[in-house]
Amino acid sequence: MKKNKIAVAVALCMAAVLTACGGTAKTETTKAAGAETTKAGAETTVAAETTKAGAESSAAGGKLVMVTNAEFPPYEYHDNNDIVGIDADIAKAIADKMGMELEIQDMAFDSLIPAVQSGKADFTAAGMTVNEDRKKNVDFTDTYAQAAQVIIVKDGSEIKAPADLDGKKIGVQTGTTGDIYAGDIKDGNIQRFNKGMEAVMALSQGKVDAVVIDREPAKVFVKENAGLKILDEAFTEEEYAIAVKKGNTELLEKMNAAIKELKDSGELQKIVDKYITAK
Ligand code: ARG
């Protein structure tokens, strides 16, 4: 039954002028989740069924709502009123491939998974590391980036390797893997900050001895703050993926297909190169 509707919608859509089709989707789907005359409308019907909170879910409007924490350059950060970065561009490319509009909302990092779980957002792309605990709460797409937690210290610090962190004051961003893994440091005194940059400023001011944070943001922050350096030895190696609501296989599969296309076509690498220049 649903499949028929989709087939009809797709056929109608292909018969229509593409722009007109997209335009209709945007205006009509807000009131009619089951709009049968647009491709986006048809997809919406499916999306609405896969999320419990389908009614509020913005996927019901031919639109994908992404949540992120835009304090994480080069993956997501504010550029005047816009949220830009690798994740924003990847999400936009995925939404384009799905024929959906993209809306990005900014929130605290530790609110991202709850927002996806409650259906307030369709997905989160936030330089989010795949880990077993998070897998209990959300489903992850295929990974799209290699990452690492690194250690930032002041120039001349006696901390030269991860093992030297024992008993030290360590700054992290709340709820990140840096926060989680710093918990393993013997007698470590963990200081949590809302933003990674705030942890780095605390380091500059001598309020913490080291910061554990993701490698690429670390490079950006160290560049912006004189007198700091990144230790050669990483704290952990990890991988980033997008997270969707548990059980939303429809969206997960579409996103994985789009990610594969972006990888195969070299588009993903192009996006990365746009934000990460000389290594
Ligand atoms: N990769 C780390 C994690 O998953 C940190 C991500 C922080 N992302 C952000 N947008 N602030 O926990």
Task: Output the CA 100–ligand 1 centroid distance in Å.
Answer: 25
In this structure, are 198 and 266 located in the same domain? no
Q: Which atom of ligand 1 is nearest to the CA of 76?
A: 10
Q: Going by CA atoms, what residue is nearest to atom 12 of ligand 1?
A: 176
Flag whether 191 is in a domain.
yes
Flag whether 187 is in a domain.
yes
User: Is pLDDT at 15 greater than 80 in this prediction?
Assistant: no
In this structure, are 193 and 249 located in the same domain? no
Q: How far apart are CA 146 and CA 196, in angstroms?
A: 19
In this structure, are 97 and 179 located in the same domain? no
Compute the mean pLDDT over every residue in the chain, rounded to the nearest whole number: 84
Whole-structure pTM value: 0.79
In this structure, are 173 and 125 located in the same domain? no
The predicted pLDDT at position 2 comes to 38
Read off the pLDDT band of 200 (50, 70, 90).
very high
User: Is pLDDT at 100 greater than 60 in this prediction?
Assistant: yes
User: Is pLDDT at 207 greater than 50 in this prediction?
Assistant: yes
Q: Which atom of ligand 1 is nearest to the CA of 213?
A: 5
Task: Output the CA 225–ligand 1 centroid distance in Å.
Answer: 20
Chain centroid to Cα 261, Å, comes to: 18
What tens digit of pLDDT does each residue of 23-70 get?
A: 333 333 333 333 333 333 333 333 333 333 333 444 545 999 999 999
Residue 271 burial (C-beta neighbours within 10 Å; 0-12, 13-18, 19+): buried
Pair of tokens at residue 194: 């809302």
Residues with CB under 6 A from ligand 1: 68-69, 71-72, 76, 109, 126-129, 147, 176-177, 214
The predicted pLDDT at position 8 comes to 39
Mean pLDDT value of segment 78-101: 97
Max CA-CA distance within the chain? 68
The predicted pLDDT at position 277 comes to 80
Flag whether 186 is in a domain.
yes
Cβ pair 153, 231 in contact under 8 A: yes
Lowest mean pLDDT among 61-65, 184-188, 193-197: 61-65
User: Is pLDDT at 195 greater than 80 in this prediction?
Assistant: yes
Map tokens 């912006």 to a residue: 224
Q: How far apart are CA 202 and CA 213, in angstroms?
A: 13
- Bridge partners of 244, per DSSP, are 123, 139
- Bridge partners of 83, per DSSP, are 78
Instruction: Give 17 or 174, the one with higher predicted confidence.
Output: 174
- Give me the domain span that covers residue 266: 61-144+241-275
In this structure, are 95 and 209 located in the same domain? no
Q: Which atom of ligand 1 is nearest to the CA of 129?
A: 4
The CATH number covering residue 172 comes to 3.40.190.10
In this structure, are 78 and 95 located in the same domain? yes
Flag whether 16 is in a domain.
no
Flag whether 198 is in a domain.
yes
Rg (CA), the chain: 21
Flag whether 119 is in a domain.
yes
In this structure, are 162 and 230 located in the same domain? yes
In this structure, are 115 and 221 located in the same domain? no
Domain count, the chain: 2
In this structure, are 249 and 114 located in the same domain? yes
Report DSSP letters for the chain, one per residue. Answer: -HHHHHHHHHHHHHHS-HHHHHHHHHHHTTT-TT-SSSHHHHHHHHHHHHSTTTTT-GGGGTEEEEEE-SEETTTEEEETTEEESHHHHHHHHHHHHHT-EEEEEE--GGGHHHHHHTTSSSEE-SSPBP-HHHHTTEEE----EEEEEEEEEETT-S--SGGGGTT-EEEEETTSHHHHHHTTSTT-EEEEESSHHHHHHHHHTTSSSEEEEEHHHHHHHHHHSTTEEE-SS-SEEEEE--EEETT-HHHHHHHHHHHHHHHHHTHHHHHHHHH----
Task: Output the CA 87–ligand 1 centroid distance in Å.
Answer: 11
Judged by phi (left if over 0) then psi (alpha if -120 to 50, else beta), residue 127 lies in left
The predicted pLDDT at position 278 comes to 54
The predicted pLDDT at position 53 comes to 38
In this structure, are 120 and 227 located in the same domain? no
Q: Which atom of ligand 1 is nearest to the CA of 196?
A: 11
Pocket test for ligand 1, best of 143, 173, 212, 216 (most atoms within 8 A of CB): 173
Flag whether 10 is in a domain.
no
In this structure, are 198 and 245 located in the same domain? no
Task: Output the CA 98–ligand 1 centroid distance in Å.
Answer: 25
Flag whether 12 is in a domain.
no
Cβ pair 66, 122 in contact under 8 A: yes
Task: Output the CA 205–ligand 1 centroid distance in Å.
Answer: 23
What tens digit of pLDDT does each residue of 223-251 get?
A: 999 999 999 999 999 999 999 999 999 99
What tens digit of pLDDT does each residue of 111-127 get?
A: 999 999 999 999 999 99
User: Is pLDDT at 191 greater than 80 in this prediction?
Assistant: yes
In this structure, are 151 and 232 located in the same domain? yes
